[in-house]
């Protein structure tokens, strides 16, 4: 039940069972509000249209249209999540550990790095992003975010020919690499080329020492609880959510 509509259940006096069924149907299916007609609602709840009109009047509305308008206004408000009184909110066991891991990462994200990234986003217009394997998904995510901000952003991965990068590198100003290990040879190859043609290199990797971090102009190190990235790549850790959180916070700060 959408609790934004729930107060309506207490407004009607002397509702019949049929009228209450109509009201309960809408509170259980708020996406119907504004889309369902009075006839369709009557059919769905096995009542007459006259029953629905009487319900609207008992609730203090002139008719169905005014009632639906009121429901739309309520649904426009931010919903409040309510749990049964017999239950207490219990967070997953890993929640505290994930939060601690996020905090560890942000201890390494210095104000200087954030300022440098902000300057790139404000001053540069063309970005080439690269990710291999699972990291490609996150490079693609950042690419879409940059495109929404009006930037020219192109995404590439190991499936693309090396010549694609060689042919297009000179057109871009910033090379952003996402690599959990920081050791993937295809990524390192593109980073070397990017440096050669004068692109600024930004890297997102795990915090351990790695060659990609060493050649990056801006390196964002993420805490990784996996003992070895390859052995536990299929495992569920905080690394990926940490990565998205870092990207979004950097973009937010750079666009404020």
Provide the residue ranges of all domains of the chain, joining segments of one domain with +.
6-76, 95-255
Q: Within 10 A of 179 (CB to CB), how many other CB atoms are there? A: 28
CA within 13 Å, CB half, 125: 2
Burial class (CB in 10 A: 0-12, 13-18, 19+), 215: middle
Local confidence pLDDT in tens for the 256 residues of the chain: 556 777 777 765 678 889 888 988 888 888 888 889 999 999 999 999 999 999 988 888 899 999 999 888 888 866 555 555 555 567 888 888 889 989 999 899 999 999 999 999 999 999 999 998 889 999 999 999 999 999 999 998 888 878 878 887 888 999 999 999 999 999 999 999 999 899 999 999 998 899 999 999 999 999 988 765 554 455 778 889 999 999 999 999 988 8
The pair of structure tokens assigned to 207 is 């915090």
What is the C-alpha separation between 196 and 175, in angstroms, rounded?
A: 12
Architecture of domain 6-76: Orthogonal Bundle (1.10)
For the segment(s) 95-255, the CATH number from 3.40.50.10490, 3.40.50.300, 3.40.640.10, 3.40.50.620 is 3.40.50.10490
Alpha helices of 59-184 — where are they, by DSSP H? 64-76, 95-108, 111-123, 135-148, 162-168
Length in residues, the chain: 256
**E strands present in the chain:** 126-131, 152-156, 174-178, 200-206, 218-222
At 82 the pLDDT is 53
What is the C-alpha separation between 186 and 127, in angstroms, rounded?
A: 18
What is the C-alpha separation between 183 and 87, in angstroms, rounded?
A: 47
């Amino acid at each position: 039940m959408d609790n934004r509509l729930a107060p309506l259940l207490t407004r009607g006096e002397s509702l019949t069972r049929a009228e209450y069924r109509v009201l309960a149907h809408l509170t259980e299916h708020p996406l119907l509000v504004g889309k369902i007609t009075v006839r369709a609602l009557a059919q769905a709840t096995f009542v007459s249209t006259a029953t629905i009109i009487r319900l609207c009047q008992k609730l203090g509305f002139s008719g169905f249209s005014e009632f639906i308008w009121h429901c739309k206004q309520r649904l426009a408000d931010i919903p409040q999540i309510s749990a049964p009184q017999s239950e207490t909110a219990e967070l997953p066991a890993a929640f505290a550990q994930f939060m601690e891991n996020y905090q560890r990462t942000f201890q390494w994200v210095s104000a200087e790095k954030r300022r440098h990234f902000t300057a790139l986003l404000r001053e540069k217009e063309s970005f080439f992003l690269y990710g291999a394997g699972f990291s490609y998904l996150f490079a693609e995510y950042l690419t879409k975010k940059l495109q929404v901000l009006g930037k020219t952003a192109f995404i590439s991965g190991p499936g693309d020919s090396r010549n694609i990068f060689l042919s297009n590198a000179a057109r871009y100003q910033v090379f952003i690499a996402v690599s959990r290990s920081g050791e993937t040879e295809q990524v390192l190859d593109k980073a070397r080329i990017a440096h050669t043609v004068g692109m600024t290199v930004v890297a997102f990797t795990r915090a351990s020492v790695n060659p990609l971090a060493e050649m990056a102009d801006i390196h964002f190190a993420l805490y990784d609880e996996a003992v070895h990235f390859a052995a536990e790549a299929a495992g569920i850790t905080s690394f990926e959510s940490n990565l998205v959180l870092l990207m979004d916070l950097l973009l937010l700060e750079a666009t404020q």
